[in-house]
Chains A and B, each alone.
Chain A
């Protein structure tokens, strides 16, 4: 199985690569469009700021390629947010795969949300064998609103979509690669899709 982690200069991708290694799989870092198109499974990571990450995607032409992919794609954290229609962060236009806008938490809570919170209302094969209310590690200031594409919900200030799915596209706000054995199980599930 060929697993590609899209390498466009955003964030801590080493951890994702190691998480797959712990599962016994080699994941390759690449920004080569042909290589990405030919992969069996694709991870779309991202940490940092939305508008500059989007700019990096545009410069490499990946913004055009990602929405056309046919194999399972998993966006993680900012990767998931960039797959949505827009983000309040840097007033960014997203890839528009998930029909939902990304908003900022208000100052009624501490921003960023940093730490372990639970996921519930699990709906997808991505969560096969995962119990409701398992803990995931999250670090984010912006969130996807509750929407039709939501396959998991988390509460922080309000209930929001902590995972999304549309066809072959999946997105998780939490970091499965940093969320202990349960997170690792979610990555293993993704490889079975």
Chain B
């Protein structure tokens, strides 16, 4: 049976992890390669690296990091942040990334999704969507959730599926950082209306939140950052609890 995936997300700036990470005794908690290896050993099913560097120099460092992760880590990983062209993706995949995620660039130019799917296959195209519920309607936001667009979450998700996205990474801006649980109602709707995997993001605070997003939210995978980085939730223990709730996991 296909299992539900647990995905730690690492924010990277100039080749280093930004937010403090202290879930294990590390020599260098800012080294994404050491962290990635550690997460792979601790039972993570996949990893996401989000490049938040704003400079060209930072992007170059990111490519070097991707190459090193591919060299040393034996589970799949996705790279996102600042990707806006077929050429960007070609470089990342050539360096060993398994998937890429696009967000704002797909909103600005939706054809990008078609181009990437045609060139590299849908399996490596993740479309990340940041959305916020405003007066009952889920609105897609740009630039890390700061700028609202006219797009409706569900319509946009269906459109990128049609254009060739292989997976949706949905972050609820209402839930992100609150540690009050994932946006399960919207997630369940996405999962029911679309036929590609949905990754839940934003709101993870407790083990029960993961149980809920797989049961109520019908999510295929769940992504989180701080609860893993600060050791508040240990992946193996989380998976044991999921298993007790009869949610299929890889242990």
Contact = CB atoms under 8 A, between A and B. Distances in A.
Indicate whether A and B interact: yes
A12 B195 contact: no
B177 interface: no
A178 B76 contact: yes
A18 B77 CA distance: 14
B196 to A, nearest CB: 6
A178 B197 contact: no
Contact of A112 (B3, B40, B94, B123): B123
A155 B1 contact: yes
Interface string A162-193: 00000000000001011111011000000000
Interface residues of A, number: 36
A114 B167 contact: yes
Contacts of A12: 93, 96-98, 124
Nearest to A176: B74
What is the size category of the interface that chain B forms with chain A? 35 or more
Contacts of A139: 76, 123, 166
A113 interface: yes
Interface in A126-148: 135, 137, 139-141
Contacts of A14: 67, 70, 94-96
A115 B74 contact: no
A111 B176 CA distance: 28
Contacts of A183: 74
Contacts of B45: 115-116
A147 to B, nearest CB: 22
Given A22-B74, A110-B195, A114-B167, 8 more contacts: A12-B97, A12-B98, A113-B2, A115-B5, A116-B5, A135-B250, A156-B2, A180-B74
Interface of B: 1-5, 40, 45-46, 67, 70-72, 74-76, 93-98, 118, 120-124, 166-167, 195-197, 220-221, 250
Leading 6 A-B pairs by shortest Cβ distance: A48-B121, A14-B96, A116-B250, A139-B123, A135-B250, A18-B71
